[in-house]
Amino acid sequence: MLLHIPDVLTLEQVGRIRAELNAADWTDGRETVGMQGARVKRNQQLPDSSPLRLQLGQLILRALASNPLYHAAALPLRTLPPRFNRYEGGGEYGFHVDGAVMALSADMQMRSDVSCTLFLSEPDEYDGGELIVSDTYGEHEVKLPAGDLIVYPSSSLHRVTPVTRGARVASFFWVQSLIRDDSRRRLLFELDSSIQSLTRTAADAAALLQLTGIYHNLLRQWSET
């Protein structure tokens, strides 16, 4: 499921993060990927060991914690702390698939089910830099306002096109979902969205209760903890 989640961060929060990142020390983004990724990756990244990465990542995680649309779509179980990257001067990332298993800590790993990109630059600040996600329905081009998030299956083939003017700054992270299968996550998301919509229209209470029970029973049957 490819989903645009608007206004994860306020403009004030985006401004704060951008100011911190403008003064940060960046490193070659190829240092954080394997041999295959290094062949097609040309960008800069905030070092994983940077205290700033942890500080700004916590700000983003707090914002996500209060976003019901994000939780309905991702159903997060574990989240890799957000990272930050910058593309400029022709920087790009060719087609690739994200790693299936990632180190969450020294003694814990997580499966990547959902990939997330949080845009921190406005679309008119740079040329190029579109996120292209390829799936069975074709290629989808994504370039969102600062503060908006795109989520998509980590199994998707995707790339970032060359940035030919300005700089594209973003945060990115992965989620291990309670629901491993993307098609089941989509069904639960659509069911939850329908329940919320019917609730706003004061639909029949008994029918809503029944639908809510179906949602939770499916979640109980499919979830992994």
Q: What is the pLDDT of residues 4-26, one digit of tens each?
A: 999 999 999 999 999 999 999 99
Please enumerate in sequence order all residues whose Cβ is within 8 A of that of 68, keeping only pairs 6 or more positions apart, or say none: none
- Whether residues 92 and 162 share a domain: the answer is yes
Residues 188 and 146 in one domain: no
For residues 26 and 28, what is the distance between their CA atoms, to the nearest angstrom?
7
H helix or E strand, kind and range, residue 107 = none
Cβ 119 vs Cβ 167: under 8 Å: no
Whether residues 168 and 194 share a domain: the answer is: no
Separation of alpha carbons 89 and 101, rounded Å? 31
Counting the structural domains of the chain, the total is 2
- Is the same domain home to 130 and 61? yes
* Cα(3)–Cα(12) distance, integer angstroms: 24
Looking at the fold, whether 108 and 191 belong to one and the same domain comes out as: no
Same-domain check for residues 172 and 82 = yes
Same domain membership, residue 113 and residue 200: no
Residue numbers of the domain that contains 207:
182-222
Residue numbers in the chain where pLDDT is lower than 50: none
Helical (H) or strand (E) element with 56:
helix 51-65
Same domain, 172 and 117: yes
- Number of other CB atoms surrounding residue 202 within 10 Å: 8
What is the predicted pLDDT for the residue at 39? 82
- Would you say the pTM of this structure is higher than 0.85? yes
C-alpha 178/C-alpha 224 separation (Å) is 5
For the chain, the C-alpha Rg in angstroms (whole number) is 18
105 and 214: one domain? no
Measure the CA–CA gap between 94 and 72, rounded to whole angstroms. 30
Which CATH number goes with the domain that contains 82?
2.60.120.620
* Pairwise CA distance, residues 142 & 133, whole Å: 8
170-210 pLDDT, tens digit each: 999 999 999 999 999 999 999 999 999 999 998 899 999 99
- 146 & 187 share domain: no
First vs last C-alpha separation in the chain: 21
Report the CATH number at residue 214. Answer: 4.10.860.20
Same domain, 135 and 198: no
Alpha carbons 52 and 168: distance in angstroms, whole number: 19
Provide the 8-state DSSP code for 65.
H
> Does 64 share its domain with 9?
yes
Look at the block and give the residue holding tokens 């003064």.
Answer: 23
